[in-house]
Structure 1
Amino acid sequence: MSINNSKPTESELEILQVLWQKERCTVRDVHETLAKKDAGYTTTLKLMQIMHEKGLVERDTTAKTHVYKALLNQEKTQQQLVNKMIDNVFNGSAARLVMQALGNQSASKEEIELIKDYLEKIEGKY
């Protein structure tokens, strides 16, 4: 199945997060990881079947239990979604996004240090 330009929905992104973390999973694995969401097993199964049809995941059917793997690259997908959000929500301003994110969430010291290090690397490029 070829990968198309379908953008994952919010529910599909939750499933992709599990697949990116674990690399290969059965529907049951994904469902149990997402068990706190009030969705039933058949809902998870149907979503993953749709994701397969859309080319977001691949399915290994060689065993009795089908195993799924994400076809979308995590970093590329995150970058595309962030770019779309910056354009649509923050009028193209990455700085507004960062200030909003840091203003609404309390970042740990480690996260702040990572952000500082990243900013220094960016400044070094210019």
Structure 2
Amino acid sequence: MPRPSSSRPTDSELEILGVLWDKGAATVREVHEELSLRKPTGYTTVLKFMQIMMDKGLITRREQHRVHLYESAVPREATQSELVRDLAQRAFGGSALELAMRALESNRATPGELDQIRRLLDQAEKGRR
């Protein structure tokens, strides 16, 4: 079941989730350092965002050797699927075709990505028979 929109991650929260998805578990300092490589970010800002994300149920915290480790409470794929469904509904009237067409027009797909898309289409077609 989709999370309520109030717990849908913001852009900043998605950046933090990206770090946690890549690292698995991390301290606030580690998340801050990773984000600071991309753009200047204050430590206390990252801490505040992560506190809000805990309240929203997006991340969890556990103590290990007197250090707080944070992890994503939501899988990357589930979050991406929810965001795509929401975008498809809001911007494309629920049309997967329109969404896919705009995505392929907007971003140049690599040959490998196009092969993956063809395989997915073949699988979808086999599932309909």
1:7-27 deviation line (CA, Å, top 9, x unaligned): 111111111111111110111
1:71-112 deviation line (CA, Å, top 9, x unaligned): 112222211111010000111111111111111111111111
Q: Secondary structure at the match of 1:72?
A: coil
State the partner residue of 2:8. 7
Where does structure 2 lack aligned partners over 5 or more consecutive residues? none
Amino acid at match of 2:61: R
Amino acid at match of 2:93: N
1:31 aligns with 2:12: no
Mapped partners of 2:115, 2:70: distance in 1: 36
TM-score (normalizing by structure 1): 0.90
Runs of 4+ in 1 over 2 A off after TM superposition: 61-65
1:89 aligns with 2:56: no
1:50-73 deviation line (CA, Å, top 9, x unaligned): 111222111113433311011112
Amino acid at match of 1:125: G
State the partner residue of 1:21. 22
Mapped partners of 2:111, 2:58: distance in 1: 36
Mapped partners of 2:106, 2:39: distance in 1: 24
Structure number with higher helix proportion: 2
TM-score (normalizing by structure 2): 0.88
